Amino acid sequence: MKKFKLSNGITHIPLELPWQSPGFVNVYLIEDSDGYIMIDCGVNGKKYFSLLKNYLQEEKIDLSQIKLLIGTHMHSDHIGLSSSLREEGIPFALYKNSIDFLNEYNDWTLRFKDFITYSEKEGAPKSFLLDLNSISTPSYAGKVATPDMLLDEGKIKNVKRNLSVIFTPGHDQSEISIHDLKSKVIFSGDHILPRITPFIPTVDSESNLLNDFIISLEKIENIDHKTIAPGHGKIIEEPHKRIEQMILHHQRRSEKIVALLENEKLTGWEITNLLFPRKLDALNLRLAFQETLAHLKYLEKKNILKHNISKYNSWEVVKKT
């Protein structure tokens, strides 16, 4: 992947990831009067740290000039390397609610604990539950300790350039986008991506992250901006069009789910298999299931579907009188 040419003192670094798709994460450096603000940093590991250092050298930026590292959200491809950078004296910032999710970030058995119980209720087979039970924290996640700075919405303090935090949960519960007022660029992390719609998870029976995600998209839509610099893939030159496409994608999927339930009652697991009939590997099956459940929760809260707990935990359409 090639570097983007960005103006207004913004540097782009495409940093390799240990997997194929997406194969790179976008790291950005924003120039300030007394150094640089870095957005996201890639996965943990010596190899990735060397790659990052090589790129910085090419750009003639020294690690000591980076005065703040901001993580857009708590996924390993965006903050895995943060502890190595903190060891170099670079302070690390995340959104303020991140402290609620640090233990789950560092220990993936905690991360999937509630989801295992929830999956069972939604009709997932034993093999799937065993698979969830066997997940452990990968080394590329690194270890993340309490951030040095907890961000709130609005202008970032201790930074001279006018950078503003927008809380955009959905893909992750602590996801933020950063708005640079000088260039009118929004750094969107994985909230808005150019080609794929980001995965929307279900973490437990309470969360309604698809609803959060749609609200977050509308939030960005209402901010005066020119381009979106995403966490993966190319710069988005027509952000409004992309936002509309993403909303439409989820609308269509919701409609498909309601159509499936018009004539029969189905469990979350059965719906997933009808929506994704192709054979999926363990990871993609989990993502498909989590996302289907996110839709079911969303439709339940909108009073379009209801969950019939007494009848095999199946879902059905709410009949309007």
Q: Which residues bind Zn ion (CB under 5 A)?
A: 77, 190, 231
* Identity of the residue, 73 or 161, whose beta carbon is nearer to Zn ion in the bound complex: 73
What type of residue is 93?
A
We find the least distance from the C-beta atom of residue 252 to Zn ion, in angstroms, to be 23
We find the least distance from the C-beta atom of residue 172 to Zn ion, in angstroms, to be 9
Q: Is 230 exposed, middle or buried (0-12, 13-18, 19+ CB in 10 A)?
A: buried
- How far apart (Å, rounded) are the C-alpha atoms in residues 69 and 182? 19
* Identity of the residue, 131 or 190, whose beta carbon is nearer to Zn ion in the bound complex: 190
* Identity of the residue, 188 or 254, whose beta carbon is nearer to Zn ion in the bound complex: 188
* Identity of the residue, 71 or 147, whose beta carbon is nearer to Zn ion in the bound complex: 71
Full DSSP string of 99-137: GGTHHHHH-HHHHTHHHHHHHHHTT--HHHHHHHHT---
* Identity of the residue, 189 or 239, whose beta carbon is nearer to Zn ion in the bound complex: 189
Full DSSP string of 165-218: EEE--SSSTT-EEEEETTTTEEEEETSS-SSSPPP----SSS--HHHHHHHHHH
We find the least distance from the C-beta atom of residue 282 to Zn ion, in angstroms, to be 19
We find the least distance from the C-beta atom of residue 23 to Zn ion, in angstroms, to be 11
Q: Is the peptide bond before 277 cis (omega within 30 degrees of 0)?
A: no
Does residue 233 contact residue 2 with C-beta atoms inside 8 Å?
A: no
We find the least distance from the C-beta atom of residue 141 to Zn ion, in angstroms, to be 12
